[in-house]
């Protein structure tokens, strides 16, 4: 066995591309806790919350990637990372694995089954706000429903969801203002924004052709901050492909994607310049 292969197998990370995102997110987590223990000003905490809305929304993308392919080779490290992600995003261990990986990805072409469905029961398309509220408020119940078919995944989901909510409850009890503004409110906000971004991935694309069912955003900056989530058709084509490999996968299928499915998000246009 070569030395390079041995090092690769002994690494804590499955893919070295995950090292920098995890490092940055860990620093942001330490910053949250540093403020929690040192800042008493509600004004400062509110300003910090506002400034962190978009960064924490970006963390949602990395939590999503982790639910597809676990970041670490070690199970305990993955559970710790998921607690960190949950405190930023409001999405606990295995919620997206059930709701998204084992739900949405299998059903996104069927609006009667899709866990992130953008159609109302009458067949009409929801607006962005309606959709976002619907998906955010039903995320946990729908994840639970999917979990009934996957008992092992469901047990982990329930256990770590309860653990996460206990942790947040203790943080709020010990320091109410900081606990609410640094953890409880950002978690709810990020869950809503996760749903809002998902609306822009599929809404209005009523088709049975997987290559015509997702919008794509090829903006360099958008994909840096979201881990190539803009290559969304490729992601749905092979959801088990690591985020760092999506541009190559996209290149192999881009001839199958209609030109009108390349768009730019509001965030990309306003904040990232295109």
Q: Domain residue spans in the chain?
A: 14-206, 212-274
Q: CB-side exposure of 17: number of CA atoms within 13 Å? A: 13
Average pLDDT over residues 59-67: 96
The model's pLDDT over 190-221, given as tens digits with 9 standing for 90+, comes to 999 999 999 999 999 999 999 999 999 999 99
Q: What percent of the chain clears pLDDT 90, i.e. is strictly above it?
A: 91
Residue 8: partners with Cβ closer than 8 Å, 6 or more residues away: none
Report the chain's mean pLDDT, rounded to a whole number: 93
State how far the alpha carbon of 207 is from the alpha carbons of 25, 99, 104, in Å. 37, 21, 15
Q: What pTM, to 2 d.p., does this model score?
A: 0.90
Per-residue pLDDT at 222: 93
Mean pLDDT of 61-74: 97
- pLDDT bracket for residue 8 (50, 70, 90): very low
- Bridge partners of 262, per DSSP, are 216
Q: Which residue has the higher pLDDT, 6 or 96?
A: 96
Flag whether pLDDT at 89 surpasses 80. Answer: yes
pLDDT digits 0-9 by tens, 100-153: 999 999 999 999 999 999 999 999 999 999 999 999 999 999 999 999 999 999
Q: What is the pLDDT of residues 159-191, one digit of tens each?
A: 999 999 999 999 999 999 999 999 999 999 999
Q: In terms of Cα–Cα distance, which of 117, 76, 110, 114 is closest to 93?
A: 76
User: Per-residue b/e over 34-49, b at no fewer than 16 CB within 10 Å?
Assistant: ebbeebeeeeebeebb
Task: Give the three-state DSSP class for 125.
Answer: strand
pLDDT at 241 over 50: yes
Confidence of residue 10 (pLDDT cuts 50, 70, 90): low
* For range 238-252, the mean pLDDT: 97
Query: Is pLDDT at 272 greater than 50 in this prediction?
Result: no
Would the pLDDT of 3 be above 90? no
Instruction: Check residue 263 and give its pLDDT.
Output: 85
Q: How much is the pLDDT for 42? A: 97
């Amino acid at each position: 066995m070569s030395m390079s292969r041995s090092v690769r197998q002994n690494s804590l990370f499955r893919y070295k591309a995950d090292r920098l995102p995890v490092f940055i997110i860990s620093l942001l987590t330490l910053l949250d806790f540093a403020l929690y223990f040192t800042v008493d000003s509600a004004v400062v905490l509110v300003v910090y919350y506002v400034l962190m809305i978009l960064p924490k929304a970006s963390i949602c993308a990395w939590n999503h990637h982790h639910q597809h392919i676990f970041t670490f080779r070690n199970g305990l490290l993955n559970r710790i990372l998921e607690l960190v992600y949950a405190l930023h995003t409001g999405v606990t261990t295995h919620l997206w694995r059930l709701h998204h990986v084992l739900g949405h990805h299998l059903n996104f072409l069927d609006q009667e089954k899709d866990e992130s469905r953008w159609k109302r029961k009458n067949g009409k398309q929801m607006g962005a706000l309606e959709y976002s509220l619907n998906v955010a408020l039903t995320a946990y119940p729908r994840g639970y429903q999917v979990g009934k078919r996957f008992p092992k995944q469901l047990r982990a989901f329930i256990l770590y969801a309860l653990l996460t909510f206990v942790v947040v409850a203790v943080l709020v009890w010990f320091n109410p203002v900081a606990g609410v503004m640094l953890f409880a409110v950002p978690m709810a906000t990020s869950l809503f924004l996760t749903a809002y971004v998902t609306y822009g991935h599929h809404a209005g694309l009523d088709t049975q052709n997987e290559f015509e069912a997702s919008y794509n955003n090829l903006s360099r900056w958008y994909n840096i901050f979201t881990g190539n989530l803009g290559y969304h058709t490729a992601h749905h084509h092979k959801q088990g492909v690591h985020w760092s490999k999506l541009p190559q996968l996209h290149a192999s299928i881009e001839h199958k994607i209609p030109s009108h499915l390349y768009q730019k998000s509001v965030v990309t246009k306003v904040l990232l310049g295109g």
